[in-house]
Amino acid sequence: MSVSLRLSRGGSKKRPYYKVVVSNSRAPRDGKYLEQVGTYNPLLAKDDENRVRVVEDRVRYWLSVGAQPTERVARLLDKLGIKERKVTLNPNAGVPGKKATERAADKAKKAAEAAEAAAESAEA
């Protein structure tokens, strides 16, 4: 059985509240879990001490026996200093696509033509 550390959602609509749980990786997100090891409340301020609370020794135990944290839980554990996460960088994340680049080039070309036409009419 593969075990994962992940978030289980609770709370009402538009008011999320998460439990950090250890569960079978094939179980549903909010389904049965082996153990609850913490909580995460994203509505609290980032510097609030109650935003992320975990039982550190239990998290370390589950990591030692092979539990794999999800990406979000790995980020939380990295901020708490429990498990270091390697940084993933995507240099192409902010680069516009092919069509957007073409539209920007067309727009710049039209703006240059309009400026040139205005300069010619001002000279005449």
Tens digits of residue pLDDT in 80-115:
999 998 888 888 888 899 999 999 999 999 999 998
The closest alpha carbon to 22, from 71, 67, 78, belongs to 67
Q: Does 122 map to a domain?
A: yes
Q: How far is Cα 29 from Cα 38, in angstroms, rounded to an integer?
A: 15
Tell whether the model's pLDDT for residue 59 goes beyond 80: yes
* Residue-number span of the structural domain to which 108 is assigned: 96-124
pLDDT score, position 87:
80
Model confidence, pTM: 0.70
Average of per-residue pLDDT across 59-87? 93
Please list the residues that pair with 86 across neighbouring strands: none
Please list the residues that pair with 54 across neighbouring strands: 38
Residues 76 and 111 in one domain: no
How many domains, in total, are found in the chain? Answer: 2
